[in-house]
């Protein structure tokens, strides 16, 4: 049983560029959440997708957007990259949207130069 | 706004010692609390999830407790081993907050031979 997978593993971009990160949830899971983890900090919630719609959003600007596909996989898009967007981006999947165990992927390390 | 704090930020112990990691949260209206392990540069591995109606959960050498009234959770690790060295994160899901997790900044544990 494959767990949560994310691609790419690492990414280097320059300021002002746009980036797309991808996530495939654990088998049987229908909900995907995205988190940003800066160095030395705990993960911060970006948003959550369920039934191809954004259901919850954290305190992140509109430069951060997402999408969920019919097969439950998800993308995170970040426009107009800033140096401060450099972080580990984590995807988590779960069954349903309320209180179930969340399983995290290995993350995508984004570096903005 | 839920705030989660973990103390200590770092801990170094000799192999074989029993230890306790602390997590406190400001909003007692939590749905559940989850403990994770994170190895350097990696994703999060779920260790234990405690529902709000439970007082504790156990898995092998790990035991997590939850006291909603005092806003605290503890993770007890018995007979620590060098392989336990990692950062341990706690995260709270609020009632009515769906699956959104609010994380602490973690406790970095080093178990020495």
- Residue A112's pLDDT is 98
pLDDT tens digit sequence for A70-86:
999 999 999 999 999 99
Residue A1 has pLDDT above 70, yes or no: no
Q: In angstroms, how far is CA B69 from the centroid of its own chain?
A: 17
Q: Which of A7-11, A52-56, B35-39, B93-97 has the lowest mean pLDDT?
A: B93-97
Helix (H, G, I), strand (E, B) or coil at B37: strand
Taking residue A12's Cβ as centre, other Cβ atoms within 10 Å add up to 12
Handedness of CA A110, A90, B76, B112 (dihedral sign): negative
Taking residue B19's Cβ as centre, other Cβ atoms within 10 Å add up to 16
Most A-contacting residue of B44, B53, B54 (CB-CB within 10 A), to test interface: B44
A90: closest chain B residue by CA: B43
Closest CA to A47 of A62, A31, A38, A58: A58
Helix (H, G, I), strand (E, B) or coil at A46: strand
pLDDT tens digit sequence for B45-91:
999 999 999 999 999 999 999 999 999 999 999 999 999 999 999 99
- Residue B92's pLDDT is 94
Most B-contacting residue of A3, A25, A40, A42 (CB-CB within 10 A), to test interface: A42
| A51 HSE (CA, 13 A, CB side) | 3
In this complex, do A105 and B103 lie within 8 Å of one another by their Cβ atoms?
A: no
**Which positions ≥6 away from B98 have C-beta within 8 Å?**
A48, A55, A56, A97, A98
* DSSP β-bridge partners for residue A74: A23, A68
Backbone dihedral angles phi then psi of residue A9, each to the nearest 5 degrees: -75, -45
Rounded Cα distance, A25 and A96, in Å: 12
Provide mean pLDDT across the span B95-109: 89
Residue B20 has pLDDT above 90, yes or no: yes
Handedness of CA A10, A65, A56, B72 (dihedral sign): positive
**Which positions ≥6 away from B77 have C-beta within 8 Å?**
B18, B19, B20, B21, B61, B62, B84, B109
Provide mean pLDDT across the span A55-76: 96
């Amino acid at each position: 049983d494959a767990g949560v997978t994310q691609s790419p593993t690492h990414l280097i971009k320059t300021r002002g560029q746009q980036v797309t990160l991808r996530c495939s949830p654990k088998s049987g899971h229908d909900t995907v959440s995205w988190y940003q983890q800066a160095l030395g900090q705990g993960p911060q919630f970006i948003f959550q997708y369920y039934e191809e719609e954004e259901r919850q959003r954290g305190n992140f600007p509109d430069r951060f957007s997402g999408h969920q596909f019919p097969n439950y996989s998800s993308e995170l898009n970040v426009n107009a990259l800033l140096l401060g967007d450099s972080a580990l981006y984590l995807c988590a999947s779960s069954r349903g949207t309320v209180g179930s165990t969340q399983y995290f992927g290995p993350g995508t390390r984004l570096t903005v130069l | 706004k839920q705030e989660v704090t973990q103390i200590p930020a770092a801990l170094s112990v000799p192999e074989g010692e029993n230890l306790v990691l602390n997590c406190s949260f400001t909003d007692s209206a939590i749905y559940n609390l989850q403990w994770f392990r994170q190895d350097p540069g990696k994703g999060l591995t779920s260790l234990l999830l405690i529902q709000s109606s439970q007082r504790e959960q156990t898995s092998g050498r790990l035991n997590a407790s939850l006291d909603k009234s005092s806003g605290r959770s503890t993770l007890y690790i018995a007979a620590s081993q060098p392989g336990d060295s990692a950062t341990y994160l706690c995260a709270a899901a609020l009632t009515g907050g769906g699956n959104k997790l609010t994380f602490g900044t973690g406790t970095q544990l080093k178990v020495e031979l």
